[in-house]
Chain A
Amino acid sequence: DAKTTQPNSMESNEEEPVHLPCNHSTISGTDYIHWYRQLPSQGPEYVIHGLTSNVNNRMASLAIAEDRKSSTLILHRATLRDAAVYYCILRDPYSGGGADGLTFGKGTHLIIQP
């Protein structure tokens, strides 16, 4: 899986939007962009994924740059429960049969201030 770069940490206020950036300049045409998060003392949790178009679900939105070399996870209204480490992961479903596991980086530690 191709490499991603994320800020080590970000801080935001409760009930404000949060934009978590991810750079992936070496992304290939078949790489999907996945986001997972890990809340304190819990296992990672799937958030969202996309290929080219922006995506929305009940948890977040994913904005993908036109050249696909970067993306942004958007939490529209952060709560204290969103404090977690957020991981941006590239995953090629046609490589390794999808059965070779996720490659986690260091992620972004999101701190939410009340």
Chain B
Amino acid sequence: DTAVSQTPKYLVTQMGNDKSIKCEQNLGHDTMYWYKQDSKKFLKIMFSYNNKELIINETVPNRFSPKSPDKAHLNLHINSLELGDSAVYFCASSQRLAGGVDTQYFGPGTRLTVL
């Protein structure tokens, strides 16, 4: 069973389009995340979300918005795509353990190419 899954795996689109990436976790975790990995392989947190709170990295443009229909899903919507949005996007989830420590489980990634 896949713990954290993302669709699609690859997404090629034109500048200016609006697109969504879906993420689902079957681990029963209460917190989900979106990360971006650019062409230089730097991984950066974009959003973290649980049913109480959305934390947004201040460097993320407001063209990006996470939407959570339920606890197991956190989708990423991107409006007016730009060339610089080309990257690999990773979804992750976590559950806080005793002592407050959490370990994150990552999805396989979605490679977005904006032409």
Contacts and interface: CB of A to CB of B under 8 A. Distances in A.
B108 A98 contact: no
B107 A43 contact: yes
A68 interface: no
A21 B33 CA distance: 28
Interface string B31-55: 1010100000111111111100101
Interface residues of B, number: 32
B69 interface: no
A69 interface: no
Contact of A46 (B48, B100, B103): B103
A98 B97 CA distance: 10
Contact of A44 (B43, B44, B100): B43
Given A46-B104, A46-B105, A98-B102, A104 B96 contact: no
Instruction: Give the interface size class of chain A.
Output: 20 to 34
A43 B109 contact: yes
Nearest to B100: A93
Given A44-B92, A102-B35, 9 more contacts: A42-B108, A43-B107, A93-B102, A96-B55, A99-B48, A101-B57, A102-B104, A103-B45, A104-B43
17 contacts: A41-B109, A42-B108, A42-B109, A43-B109, A44-B43, A44-B92, A44-B104, A44-B106, A49-B101, A93-B96, A98-B31, A98-B101, A99-B55, A101-B35, A101-B48, A103-B45, A106-B42
Interface of A: 32, 34, 36, 38, 41-46, 49, 85, 91, 93-94, 96-104, 106
Interface of B: 4, 31, 33, 35, 41-50, 53, 55, 57, 90, 92, 94, 96, 99-109
Q: Which 8 A-B pairs have the closest CB atoms?
A: A101-B45, A93-B100, A43-B106, A104-B43, A46-B103, A99-B48, A101-B48, A44-B106
